[in-house]
Structures are given as structure tokens and as C-alpha cells.
Amino acid sequence: MQKIIVCIKRVVDYNVRIRVKPDGSGVMLDGVKMSVNPFDEIALEEALRIKERGTNIEVVAVSIGVADTQQQLRTALAMGADRAILVQTDLPVEPLTAAQTFLAVANKENPDLIFLGKQAIDDDANQTGQMLAAIWQRPQATYASKVEISGGKASVTREVDAGLETIEVDLPAVVTVDLRLNEPRYVKLPDIMKAKKKPLEVTSLEALGVSTAVLLKTVKTEPPAQRQKGVMVKDVAELVGVLKKKGLI
């Protein structure tokens, strides 16, 4: 193995309380802390661990988004990625567009493995990895909780409804990762300083020959409904009566 691509996304930090715009057109982002999607951070950590166990493996972090996405790519470089690529665009990026963009990058970079988080915490689409594998015409392993590389193959333990399933795929392949795969490393200040000197290439969708067609339309964004106050009941009979009034039984 010589090269691993890790696809990362810039999202609102998971510790931030999300606020919806008054007109319901989306989420308020002004002044909000942005971070690397947590699932993608786990994917990057796994790529770095594979690199540390092997020899001469290059880890490339790739992201699509606005110019400020360079901040998240610098975080990836500080964690240990060798270089980064930003496909800069101010337009919303849908899963299919993201997959087509990562495919264009893969065709240039010829990676042995592409890692992604299983989903992004902003839209929870869980589609990009599967779409990328389909249009790249390579094997895929989703929801990975353990990854082992040997002899040009990847043995992936994945989480399914019935428990754990282990599959083997030929490389190159696409792997999307779950939360239990690992715990990302802490980025230290010296690593942040070193990351400033690592190469970060900026390109565009047009340069990669990717269409920016919009296929999805967000009709309205609404915050979750407020939870109702609890009701105190004296006994089981009263509890059953309350549940019947609410139409729950």
C-alpha cells in the first residue's frame, strides 16, 4: 500500500447548540465554531495508524467547501496527514456531487484505500461513501469497527443489526467508519505549528470537471419540538388512563 485518501467534511462542532434561522431557510452559521466531522476524524485516525504500522504510506486529507475549510484541513495535517487538498466552492455540496468530486481526486491520486466517516453530523445522509464506491467501481465496506490490511486486501469488521460481520475486500476499496473503530489522537501545539508548513493544494469543481447541478431542495428547516412536561400519576390505573388519552395505547 502506498497511499490512503481520507475524505473529511467541515461541520458545526458537535458541542454547539444548533439554532435555526428565523425564516426556516437553514441553520445559523455566523460566528459558530466549526470542526472536522467526528466520524471523519475517526477515519483519519485509522489511516494514520495504518501508516504507522506500515512503511512509505502517504495519507492525503481531502475536503470540499468554502475557503475557511482550510482550517479543518490544517487540523488533519496537524494530526499527521502528509498533505491536503481543498476543492473550494461556495455552493452547497450534495452527496452525489461529493462522491463525483472524490472520484475525480481518486483518479488523479490513484489511492489504495479511501476512508470516510459513515455519515456527517449535519445532514446524517450516509450516502457519499456508498455512491463513491459505486461510481469508482470498487468494493466497499461500511460501518467499520475494525480494519486490518494484509496482502492487498482489507478485512473489515462492520456493525450490522444482528451484531458484527467480518468481510474481506480487495484493494483499492472504500471504507466508511463507525464510532467504535478508535479514539482520535489529541493534537499538540508543536504539531499545529508543523502543519502550517505542510502542502495544502486548492482546486475547484470546475478544474476537476465536476458538475454543480443541484438535485435536492431544502423546503424548510425546523427545530425539534419542545418536550412536554411530565405528568405525575398515583397508580397504574391512572397511568393507563393518561396513556389512552394521549392515544399511545
pTM > 0.75: yes or no: yes
pLDDT at 1: 66
Q: Interior CA angle at 99 toward 98 and 100, to 5°?
A: 90
SS3 of 241, please?
A: helix
In this prediction, residue 222 has a pLDDT band, given cuts at 50, 70 and 90, of confident
Tell me: the pLDDT tens digits for 74-97? 999 999 999 999 999 998 889 999
Tell me: the pLDDT tens digits for 161-175? 888 999 999 999 999
Burial code of 107-131, b = ≥16 C-beta within 10 A, e = fewer?
eebebbbbbbbbbbbeeeebbbbbb
Is residue 78 within 8 A of residue 61, CB to CB? The reply is: no
Share of the chain above pLDDT 70, in %: 100
Share of the chain above pLDDT 90, in %: 69
Domain count of the fold of the chain: 1
Helical packing angle, 38-53 and 70-79, nearest 10°: 30
**Region of poorest pLDDT, from 129-143, 189-203, 227-241:** 227-241
Tell me: the pLDDT tens digits for 67-76? 999 999 999 9
Candidates 75, 52, 57; CA nearest to 198 is 75
- Tell me the average pLDDT across 193-211: 94
Q: Which domain holds residue 71?
A: 3-245
Mean pLDDT, the chain, integer: 92
Is residue 115 within 8 A of residue 43, CB to CB? The reply is: yes
- Domain of residue 47, CATH code: 3.40.50.620
Tell me: the pLDDT tens digits for 19-57? 888 888 888 888 889 999 999 999 999 999 999 987 789
Q: Establish how many alpha carbons lie within 13 A of residue 95's alpha carbon, considering only the half-sphere containing its beta carbon.
A: 21
